Structure 1
Amino acid sequence: MENNAYQDARKENAAPSAGIYIHIPFCKQACVYCNFHFSTSLKYKDEMVQAIIAELVMQKDYLRNVPIETIYFGGGTPSLLSEYEINTIIETVQKNYTVNKLVECTLEANPDDLSREYLRGLKSTPINRLSIGVQSFREEDLLYMKRAHNAQEADYAIKAAQDHELSNISIDLIYGTPGLTDKDWKANLAKLKELAIPHFSAYALTVEEKTELNHLIQKKRSAPVDAEQAAGQFELLMEYAEVMGYEHYEISNLALPGKYAVHNTNYWRGLPYLGIGPSAHSFSGSARKWNVANNALYTKSILIDKKVPFKEEVLTEVQFMNEYIMTSLRTMWGCDLEKIEKDWGSDVLKELMKKAERLIDKGMLELKEKKLIITNKGKLFTDRIAGDLFF
């Protein structure tokens, strides 16, 4: 079953749409595994908000008047923004961009920020969806990850949001952490149904360079991540999600029917988007660009030099094709062979199918209604499978 936004956009004459991502580069404290761009000092938050507003005005022609249907506040920790700051940023979008209707306006939030007072304030903003960084309902995991909240606060935040009519909620969960047994992981998954969560993202714990977790493992002060444990818990995720009625519509994202994340789904569909803030990425339809990942350099460039500090890459036809193969295979809708033939020709289609046949024979891919779709068996090897199909 396809969600309406996705289905409508695939109609030949569907109106184009775009999204805006706003990066809020601040956190109260650093999580042990995180390699995103952020600062734990809030000293220059006011200056950063001013720069974000200024960049929105400076970038107003980037999307060429394509209507904005989604805004996504990511980070960092966007729930450190006040009601006034959120409204000011969104009002800047509405004044400078074509906004017919905001289908989805998401705020990433940490559970410890979602007090009843804060949630009451959010009701006076256009925010209509929360992405809550729960990560685990198990206290030991939260301590290991150095999260700023505890398990009780996670439970409370979700219920409080629902009480304030913010029921369009997604939560993040992490599996594969040392000490997380399969029984513990099943208990985390069971909380989804208990709390009536319509959407969730699940990620294996990964060890990134320049993170505290990597340092601790290198110094043998933390157990290494167990790939076999993570793979087994991913398989449990697929099994339990299906039983509970969730659709595994993207490798890391699951939702009840019709509750897919519109903003993120548009990324996978290849629609244009604008990224605002330090380290934010943008896609125009023909090129990608990314802002400098340095708060001081970003604000100086925007507020003093009056220019956006970014680098850019214009994509080749082969890069476009490979990117479509990779992103489409990550979704339950799969790689559309009719699109491949229409956009890149019958010779490319024949070559793609020649590569795919071996993977179909191995049970990694299936051919269904002129689409290549990754099987549950293949989902453990999605990146490798996409790479095998690349041109």
Structure 2
Amino acid sequence: MAGIYIHVPFCKTRCHYCDFFKSTKVQYRNQFLGQLLKELEERSDFFSKSEKVIHSVYFGGGTPSLLAVEQLEEVLNVIRKEYSLADDTEFTIEVNPDDLDAEYLSGLRSLGFNRISLGIQSFFDEDLKKMGRRHNSIQSRNVIEQTFAAGFENVGIDLIYGLPWSDQEKFLQNLIVMNQYPLKHLSAYHLTIEPNTQFGRDKKRKKLSEIEEEQSEQLFWMLHDEAEKLGFEHYEISNFCRDGLYSRHNTSYWTGKSYLGAGPGAHSFDGIRRFWNKSDLHQYLESGYQSGVSNEILTENDRFNECLMLGLRTRKGIDLEDLKANHFGLMSQFENNIQKWTERGLLQQECGRIFGTRKGWFLIDGIIEDLFEV
């Protein structure tokens, strides 16, 4: 289940909530492409023999749909040449509604992309404008229809909830609109106001504030209940799917599989070490990834904590036998620590797994932090 992640760091404009590494200097796309192809060639021996076969290739950003079809083809040609791909590899690309038309979507299809993630965020123009998005609600609806018309079946969208100026009923309308289409995946993220964003600056000036925790919890469970009524499985805190079509790429992260991240700011993991490319576009363009790549060897405590952090955010939770096999020396303390959470009805053990209850899942990040080995 190894995967490759391509970070395309360009955006035409900066959304007011986004804290991902990005640049609006789109004129450097060709130069970026040259360094990206070189990085993919030079790191072709990254994966061990046991995880040599790649099951997912994911283009994220930034805005991958700012690359032309011909540029994406160059990247995929190198990946297909240098890496061993499974016959059923999942090829995903994140796209912005205002970058797409029928010709571009047809081009993506011809390249072998079989999964599309549309950055819708909201079907309300007021929300989109306040978030600094470039598209409008009409474009959102049109591009969903065009994506299916181009022959894509595994189509998902992103939505953001917890907007300070909005309410529960308005977000429910987003789900009602979403249900008009045969979408297979939903990623729904609660707004977090990060310091180095426009929203962060607005918060500092007291022009904006996050909603109360009680309202957040109500929205979370409304989202959960309504999405499940529409046939979606809530399989991870922020992710829902129909017909068992999990994001294979993200699932590999959550289950500790190896992945290679290429591009400035991208992260990689080989099962023992974590690597990260420096979040510096100009350094990447001038000197390539090698001048900025760093790495660290994860201690047993680090690996144990990552297993908790990633596994308990999923609906299935953690297999206790697997945890014991990999971290036997830490299990006694862990079992003592989880007892208080099971007694409070926030964690549950069943069929050899530990997972959050309905009451506990919303609070899972705090529970995970308490369970960490330091």
SS of equivalent residue, structure 1 residue 27: coil
Q: Which residue of 2 aligns with 1:229?
A: 215
Q: Show CA shifts across 1:245-293 (max 9, x none).
A: 2111111111113110101001101000000000000001101011010
Matches within 5 A, 1:87-126: 87-126=73-112
Matches within 5 A, 1:248-259: 248-259=234-245
Q: Which residue of 2 aligns with 1:7?
A: none
Q: Which residue of 2 aligns with 1:149?
A: 135
CA RMSD of aligned residues (A): 1.4
Instruction: Indicate which of 287, 294, 312 corresponds to 1:301.
Output: 287
Matched, 1:386 2:368: yes
SS of equivalent residue, structure 1 residue 194: coil
Q: Which residue of 2 aligns with 1:51?
A: 35
Question: Aligned equivalents of 1:189 and 1:314: distance in 2?
Answer: 42
* Cα 1:102–1:92 shift into 2, 3 Å: farther
Q: Show CA shifts across 1:73-99 (max 9, x none).
A: 000000111111111101101111122
Letter in 2 for 1:137: F
Q: Contact conserved, 2:158 with 2:187, CA < 8 A, in 1?
A: yes
Q: Contact conserved, 1:206 with 1:225, CA < 8 A, in 2?
A: no
Q: CA deviation at 1:342?
A: 1.7
Which runs of no fewer than 5 residues in structure 1 stay unpaired? 1-16
Instruction: Indicate which of 33, 39, 47 corresponds to 2:17.
Output: 33
Question: Aligned equivalents of 2:202 and 2:10: distance in 1?
Answer: 23
Q: Normalising by structure 1, report the TM-score.
A: 0.92
Question: Aligned equivalents of 1:70 and 1:100: distance in 2?
Answer: 8
Instruction: Indicate which of 129, 151, 160 corresponds to 1:174.
Output: 160
Question: Aligned equivalents of 2:100 and 2:84: distance in 1?
Answer: 31
Question: Aligned equivalents of 2:270 and 2:19: distance in 1?
Answer: 25
Q: Contact conserved, 1:207 with 1:225, CA < 8 A, in 2?
A: no
Q: Contact conserved, 1:340 with 1:348, CA < 8 A, in 2?
A: no
SS of equivalent residue, structure 1 residue 100: strand
Q: Show CA shifts across 1:32-74 (max 9, x none).
A: 0111111112111100011110100111111135111110000
SS of equivalent residue, structure 2 residue 332: helix
SS of equivalent residue, structure 2 residue 189: strand
Q: Which residue of 2 aligns with 1:238?
A: 224
Q: Which residue of 2 aligns with 1:337?
A: 320
When structure 1 is superposed on structure 2, of 171-180 and 223-232 the one drifting more is: 223-232
Question: Aligned equivalents of 1:88 and 1:184: distance in 2?
Answer: 42
Question: Aligned equivalents of 2:332 and 2:205: distance in 1?
Answer: 50
Matched, 1:85 2:71: yes
Q: Which residue of 2 aligns with 1:63?
A: 47
* Cα 1:116–1:323 shift into 2, 3 Å: same
Letter in 1 for 2:178: L
Question: Aligned equivalents of 2:90 and 2:318: distance in 1?
Answer: 26
Q: Which residue of 1 aligns with 2:307?
A: 324
Q: CA deviation at 1:203?
A: 0.6
SS of equivalent residue, structure 1 residue 312: strand
Matched, 1:287 2:258: no
Q: Normalising by structure 2, report the TM-score.
A: 0.96
Letter in 1 for 2:23: S
Q: CA deviation at 1:224?
A: 4.3
Q: Which residue of 2 aligns with 1:5?
A: none
Matched, 1:269 2:269: no
Q: CA deviation at 1:221?
A: 3.2
Q: How many residues in Structure 1 have an aligned counterpart in Structure 2? A: 371
Q: Which residue of 2 aligns with 1:10?
A: none
SS of equivalent residue, structure 1 residue 377: helix
Which runs of no fewer than 5 residues in structure 2 stay unpaired? none
Give % identity: 38
